[in-house]
Amino acid sequence: MEYLSDRIKALSVSQTLAMAQKSRELKAKGFDIISLSLGEPDFNTPDYIKEAAKKAIDDNYSKYPPVPGYNDLREAISKKFREENGINYSPDQIVVSAGGKHSIINVILTIINPGDEVILFAPYWVSYLDQIILAGGKPVIIEAKLENDFKVKPEQLEAVITGKTRLIIFNSPSNPTGMVYSREEMEKIARIVQKHEGLLILSDEIYEHILFEGEHISMASFEFIYDRVITVNGVSKGYAMTGWRIGYIGAPLWIARACDKLQGQFTSGVCSIAQRAALAAIRSNDGSRKMMRDAFLRRRDLVCGLLKEIKGMKVRVPQGAFYIMPDISSYFGKSDGEIKINNSEDLTLYLLDKAQVALVGGDAFGAPRCIRISYATSDDLLVEAVKRIRAALERLR
């Protein structure tokens, strides 16, 4: 007899991963699918990082690493936080985990009790919602409209805070919209956090290095809320290291200690070789970070330019990350004579079927009128993908 826990039954399948899997399967069957679903740099990990990993194998980094990460890695992360973000986290305030996703669930499981409210800004990244549900928390969703550049207004935030609100999840540059909050906008949010005793804010800064305009601001750099912020980051996006699975937090000591304790019963310290590679990535920089960021900027301009020529799409030009989230609701109710589009999910399946382009529907991100396009792929493929999308959309009447 199959018997699953209520916990797992309440969990949805990650739509970003599901769509990536679907396109892999179709490609394996010989279909010419262009996948703009999964958000990961198409670049290879830079050579100096790969060399460090090879050396780590030869140097016999094969024993259990310390649960929160090697000391020298935590020291390097502490220095990175100080120099790049203006935040003082001592090495013991840092916990290294198997990717940003793991860092976030550690924090949520550590501080959320069943019934605690957690505020999400929609459009939000898929896994935040399910991770809150997994912990028994109650997601409270604020809708940030496209007309407001997908940013939440301070008064919207104020309006939903109750005595049960424990945590806000903040993400800039944002996955899935690519929007970036300014210092002034962030300070207003920080002031609201400051006013509510016991309220914490998790700042997911994984796209920090993929920023096209302005400067990256860390939530914890507002000193008046430093002790209420958990900063999440990792090497996946900035150094093209998604498969190495290294994320980390900088947090108040009591939270870092609790995450260490949780991780000690769950995964132990993460892969020793990947940690040595991450150390090389964080310690030195051969210019590849900038090269990748410049390529993403060029592609952003390319894709936004092409998308804006498609009549039924509303596009906001993102300032960071490598996603665009157009509003495609003008196609709802239309048909190509065969398939009727009722919602974002239908449009995603239609484009997969008729244009052979894989995207992710907006529902998974709390944005049912939108669709997410990840443009972390080659310029040629992007041009071809948008051409196909346009042709398929033009058949809808």
Nearer to ligand GLU, 263 or 374 (CB): 374
Nearer to ligand GLU, 125 or 331 (CB): 125
**ω before 66 within 30° of 0 (cis)?**
no
**8 A C-beta contact, residue 172 and residue 180:** yes
Q: DSSP states of 265-287 as a string?
A: TTT-S--HHHHHHHHHHHH---S
Angstrom distance (rounded) from CA 100 to CA 79:
19
Regarding 292 and contact with ligand GLU (CB under 6 A), the answer is no
Regarding 38 and contact with ligand GLU (CB under 6 A), the answer is yes
Question: Which residue type, as a one-letter code, is found at position 307?
Answer: L
Mark residue 57 as left, alpha or beta (left: phi above 0; alpha: psi -120 to 50; beta: remaining).
alpha
Nearer to ligand GLU, 39 or 46 (CB): 39
Regarding 177 and contact with ligand GLU (CB under 6 A), the answer is no
Nearer to ligand GLU, 38 or 382 (CB): 38
From residue 120 to residue 149, the character string flagging contacts with ligand GLU as x (rule: CB under 6 A) and all else as - is: -----xxx----------------------
Angstrom distance (rounded) from CA 100 to CA 291:
23
**8 A C-beta contact, residue 246 and residue 49:** no
Nearer to ligand GLU, 38 or 53 (CB): 38
> Minimum distance between the CB of residue 6 and ligand GLU, rounded to whole angstroms?
24
- Rounded to 5°, angle at Cα 25 from 22 and 31: 105
Q: Could you tell me which of 122, 135, 109 has the C-alpha nearest to residue 169? A: 122
Regarding 17 and contact with ligand GLU (CB under 6 A), the answer is yes
- Scanning 35-43, 51-59, 73-81, 328-336 for contacts with ligand GLU by CB under 6 A, the matching segment is 35-43
Residue of minimal CB distance from ligand GLU?
Answer: 39
Per-residue b or e along 59-87, where b marks 16 or more CB atoms closer than 10 Å to that residue's CB: eebeeebbbbbbeebbbbbbebbeeebeb
When binding is defined by CB under 6 A, the residue of 80, 101, 276, 300 that contacts ligand GLU is 101
> Minimum distance between the CB of residue 40 and ligand GLU, rounded to whole angstroms?
6
Mark residue 193 as left, alpha or beta (left: phi above 0; alpha: psi -120 to 50; beta: remaining).
alpha
Angstrom distance (rounded) from CA 133 to CA 112:
10
When binding is defined by CB under 6 A, the residue of 23, 35, 39, 362 that contacts ligand GLU is 39
> Minimum distance between the CB of residue 119 and ligand GLU, rounded to whole angstroms?
20
> Minimum distance between the CB of residue 366 and ligand GLU, rounded to whole angstroms?
13
Regarding 16 and contact with ligand GLU (CB under 6 A), the answer is yes
Regarding 14 and contact with ligand GLU (CB under 6 A), the answer is yes
Nearer to ligand GLU, 20 or 229 (CB): 20
> Minimum distance between the CB of residue 104 and ligand GLU, rounded to whole angstroms?
11
Nearer to ligand GLU, 126 or 217 (CB): 126
Task: Find the helix or strand (DSSP H, E) in which 259 lies.
Answer: helix 253-264
List residues near ligand GLU by CB under 6 A. 14, 16-17, 38-40, 101, 125-127, 175
